[in-house]
Amino acid sequence: MSSSAPTHSDAAAPVRTPGRSRPTALVLLVVAVLALTTALTRPGEAAAAAPPNSVGLVCTDGVAGDATHPIFNLTTKTGYISLPDGNTAFMWGYSSGSDGFQHPGPVLCVNQGDTVTVILHNTLPVPASIDFPGQRDVLADGLPVRAARNGGGRITSLVDPAAADGGTITYSFVAERPGTFLYESGTDPETQVRMGLFGALVVRPAAGATHAYNRDDSEFTAGEEFMVLLSEIDPYQHRAVELGKNFNVNNYKARYWLINGRGFPDSIADNGASWLPTQPYGALAQIHSYDAGGHPLPGMARYLNVGSEDYPFHPHGNNGTVIGRDGHPLENDAGDDLSFEKFAINIGPGQTWDVLFKWYDAEDYSPDNPVPVEIPSLANSVIGTFYSGSPYLGTRETLPPGTASLNQCGEYYIISHNHALYQITSWGATMTGPITYMRIDPPEPNDC
C-alpha cells in the first residue's frame, strides 16, 4: 500500500516537549501549526510514492484477486507511535502485505457483493485473529468461523485465530451490505484490540463510490470523504506488553485518546506525513462551502469507535446528518428516512456512524457585505494561529507585527473534537488528543 509513504521528505520531526505544564499545549500548537504549514504549502515536494490524497480517506484496495474477488494480505506487526506529549507507545498492528508496522490498520475498501478474502499472517508471540463485526457467514480456511476455546471450555477467541509466531489463516466473506465497519482482533481483545489490532472496512454500495448507501440521498462529494476513527491508550498496558509482563486489565485507565491513530496536532498533518512514519492517516477535513451550482453535495464522515466508552464528538458549525449506523441505513421497511441531524456525534464502543455534512456560508459576509459590528483592532485581540486577520472567507488582512499565522488564502478553520473534554488531553498535555479541523477553502478561483 502507498499510504504510509512520506509526503515531505525534508520535514523536520516535531519538537517534543515532555512537560505537563500549561505552556506545553502552546508549544504543541505551534508545532502543529508548523506541521500544517509544511504540509499545506509544499505540495510540490511530495515524494515519489506519495499517497493519492494528502487529506481524506485513503483506501487500500485488494492486492490480488479480481474486481469482485479482492484479496488482502494482512500481517500482524509491532512498532511504535508518537503521542502528543512526546511519549511513544509500543503497539501491535495489522499491515498490508510486507509493509512496515502502521497504526491503525489499512482501510480496506471493497464493493458491495464482493467476495472478500483476507489472509492473516501472524508474527506475534500469541495467537491472533480478525473478527469482522457486521459481516455474515464469515469463513476461516473455508469453514464457518468458530469461537476458539481453552481446555476449560471458555472462549478465548471469537473466531479461529492464526497460530503464534508465523501462523496463517484465511478469512473470507461476501460484503453484502454497504457501510462502514470495523475489523479487529477477536482474540483476547482486552489486550489485542487495545494494542492496536483494528482497522476500518468500507463497503461501497452498488450505487457507486460516491454514495454511502443505495439511497439517492446518501450521495456525497467525491474527494470529501473522511475517516474519524477514535481510540484510546493506557500506556501502562502497552508497556507491560512490550516487556512481556502481565497486565491486570482491571487497572486499565486510558491516558491518551486518538483520532485516526494520531493526537492533535499530528491529527491535522497530511496523510503519510514523514514525521509520523507509522501513523499514516490524517484527520483534517478539507472541503468547500455549499454552492447550489458548483458544490451541491455534502461531505461524508465515517466515524468508528474502537474504545471502551462513548465518545461524544462535536463538529463545530456543521451538524452531521447521521444516515447510517453499523452499516445499516437509517430507514424503515417502507424506505422512509429515519436519519437525524446532530451536533454531538455520540458514538458507542464498537459502533460506526455514517454522517453527511456540509457547511454553508450562511450570511455571505464579505468586505462588501461586512459583519454588522465594529471589528476590534487586532492589537486588542488574542489572535488564533489559523486566523487570516479577516472575518471573511478568502480574505486576508495584515496581522500585527510578530504575529504568526498559518492561514494561506483566507480559508476557514472550524474545529471538531471530543466533547468529554478530559479526553482531549494526553496524560497532562491539554488541548491535544482527538481534535481536528474542518478546513473550508474559498470558492474557486482562489490563491490557496
Where in 360-419 is the site for other proteins (CB under 8 A)?
360-365, 369, 371-374, 376, 378, 380-387, 391, 393, 412-415, 419
Residue from the set 145, 323, 352, 353 that interacts with other proteins by CB under 8 A: 323
Report the distance separating Cα 419 and Cα 336, nearest Å: 31
CB of 292 to other proteins, least distance (A): 5
Report the distance separating Cα 339 and Cα 140, nearest Å: 35
| Residue among 51 and 263 whose Cβ is closer to other proteins | 263
357 binds other proteins (CB under 8 A): yes
Binding mask 199-228 for other proteins (x = CB under 8 A): ------------------xxxx--------
Q: Which residues contact 388 (CB under 8 A, 6 or more apart)?
A: 395, 396, 397, 405, 407, 410, 411
321 binds other proteins (CB under 8 A): yes
Q: What is the CA radius of gyration of the chain?
A: 22
Q: With CB under 8 A, what is the number of residues at the site for other proteins?
A: 83
| Residue among 165 and 291 whose Cβ is closer to other proteins | 291
CB of 324 to other proteins, least distance (A): 11
Q: What are phi and psi of 411, to 5 degrees?
A: -70, 160
Report the distance separating Cα 49 and Cα 381, nearest Å: 43
Report the distance separating Cα 256 and Cα 263, nearest Å: 8
Q: Which residues contact 126 (CB under 8 A, 6 or more apart)?
A: 164, 187, 188, 192
Contacts with other proteins in 18-77 (CB under 8 A)?
A: 20-22, 25, 29
Cα pseudo-dihedral 269, 274, 280, 285, rounded to 10? 20
Report the distance separating Cα 6 and Cα 272, nearest Å: 5
| Residue among 77 and 215 whose Cβ is closer to other proteins | 215
318 binds other proteins (CB under 8 A): yes
| Residue among 45 and 326 whose Cβ is closer to other proteins | 326
CB of 441 to other proteins, least distance (A): 13
The b-or-e profile of 131-157 (16+ CB within 10 A means b, else e) is bbbbbeebbbeeeebeebeeeeeeeeb
| Residue among 3 and 319 whose Cβ is closer to other proteins | 319
Binding mask 240-259 for other proteins (x = CB under 8 A): -------------xxx----
Which span sits near other proteins by CB under 8 A: 62-70, 115-123, 124-132, 319-327?
A: 319-327
For strand 311-315 and strand 88-96, is the pairing parallel, antiparallel, or unpaired? Answer: unpaired
92 binds other proteins (CB under 8 A): no
Report the distance separating Cα 215 and Cα 321, nearest Å: 14
Which span sits near other proteins by CB under 8 A: 86-94, 152-160, 191-199, 357-365?
A: 357-365
269 binds other proteins (CB under 8 A): no
CB of 16 to other proteins, least distance (A): 19
| Residue among 143 and 292 whose Cβ is closer to other proteins | 292
Contacts with other proteins in 102-161 (CB under 8 A)?
A: none
CB of 115 to other proteins, least distance (A): 30
Contacts with other proteins in 331-350 (CB under 8 A)?
A: 332, 336-344, 346
CB of 201 to other proteins, least distance (A): 22
Q: Which of 283, 298, 302, 306 is nearest to 354 (CA)?
A: 302
Residue from the set 287, 425, 436, 442 that interacts with other proteins by CB under 8 A: 425
Report the distance separating Cα 15 and Cα 29, nearest Å: 11
Q: What are phi and psi of 266, to 5 degrees?
A: -60, -25
